[in-house]
Amino acid sequence: MQVDPMTYRDLDPGQRILMGPGPSNVPSRVLQAMASPCIGHLDPYFLEIMDETQELLRFLFQTENSLTISVSGTGSSGMETCLVNLVEPGDKVLVCVNGVFGTRMCDIVTRIGGQLIRVDAPWGRAIDPDDVRRATKDKGASLIAVVHAETSTGACSPVADISKVAREVGALFLVDVVTSLGGMEVSLDSMGIDAAYGGTQKCISCPPGLSPVSFSPRAMEKLNGRKTPVPSWYLDMTMVSSYWGPERKYHHTAPINMIYAFREALRIIAEEGLEERWARHRLNHGALVSGLEAMGLEMLVPEDQRLPMLSAVLIPEGCDDLAARRALLERFGIEIGGGLGDLAGRIWRIGLMGHSCRPENVFIFLSALESILRAQGVKIREGGLQAASRVYDEASEYRG
């Protein structure tokens, strides 16, 4: 087979304002770090970079866990990593489901032979810790798993309260923090979280490709006491941890340049400060929601259960969902997400994550959406931009 190399264009995706469920926009510093020279994965310099990445990641996770690393793969690889290492055939695993990503954990549990106990909540609502308590009282569980920030709905579940239930029954506690990590408090040690996995592409604002994970001493005890081998060779933390640890035992070729980028993204977070970063997400979320509601749009999730980095808004009557999102992308360069599953065609998922979480994006989006809805003949109220502006004017934490 012959190909003409001139057939293939130079890469030029253009500029986008990424305001969907991920990825978020990536700072130039992170892209520059990613373009640094590639060296060997056992080069002494790179091993120092790995150590620094672990230190910065422990800071982000707010943990002292020794096994705190990045798995070579996207957030879904982190999900699978935690489950294949901590679940053996026959183990009872309680999974909380209030959206797409809880169902994915259920799928993995059954594939690896765990006994699934499922606790459901309506999509767009938080998991009720009392429902978890009742289910564990009736059926027991060696591991309880929940999605902290459900990306498919914008709902936030109370992980600290569910952690108490896990401690009451002696179960390990696993939390999906893919969307929450870097945008709201995720403090593994104080929240009693035994295992967690995230993704680089959301509030961390690094390109997708790595999944930060962390295992507590209780989780490591379970892992090291397994009666059966971890079913995935590539994701076996008994081996991968030896590469990230002082032994530096070869396991696989690490994605060197992705780790450069991840380290730089973590440096940016440390420079900003965790509390300041969480406050920035809360502030811009508040302005966005105020603007949307002033226009007459309704949110899917009750106010006390909403995420600060992802907002699910009901698509107004008379609006063409696909045409509106296409117009946002083609006319304004703005990407947002549509609904998944039963929420397809019913909601938009609007992200304000990491580097994308900034006032100018709030104002640009509200202005663009108003223009598109009016062009479609959708009845909306005036005053969205003014409502958002008042939030910034009234916020003592806002510094411009």
pLDDT at residue number 55: 98
SS3 of 7, please?
Answer: helix
Structure pTM? 0.96
Which pLDDT score is estimated for 6?
A: 85
Could you tell me if 120 and 144 are in contact, meaning their C-beta atoms sit under 8 angstroms apart? no
Query: What does the alpha-carbon distance between residue 284 and residue 18 come to, in Å, rounded to a whole number?
Result: 15
Amino acid type, 184: M
Q: How far apart are CA 162 and CA 256, in angstroms?
A: 37
Which residues contact residue 263 at a Cβ distance below 8 angstroms, ignoring those fewer than 6 apart? Answer: 33, 49, 52, 53, 56
| Per-residue pLDDT, 138 | 84
The pLDDT value recorded for residue 400 is: 45
What pLDDT, on the 0 to 100 scale, is given for residue 301? 98
Q: Count CB-CB contacts under 10 A for residue 195.
A: 29
pLDDT in tens, 234-284: 999 999 999 999 889 989 999 999 999 999 999 999 999 999 999 999 999
Window from 14-18, 118-122, 300-304, 394-398 with minimum mean pLDDT: 394-398
Q: Which domains does the chain have, with CATH numbers?
A: 28-271 (3.40.640.10), 274-394 (3.90.1150.10)
Q: Which helix (H) or strand (E) holds 17?
A: strand 17-18
Query: First CA to last CA across the chain, in angstroms?
Result: 57
Read off the pLDDT of residues 160-176 as tens digits, 9 standing for 90 and up: 999 999 999 999 999 99
Query: Which helix (H) or strand (E) is 101 found in, with range?
Result: helix 100-111
* Spatial distance between the Cα atoms of 361 and 334, rounded to a whole number of angstroms: 9
Return d(Cα 325, Cα 335) in angstroms, integer: 7
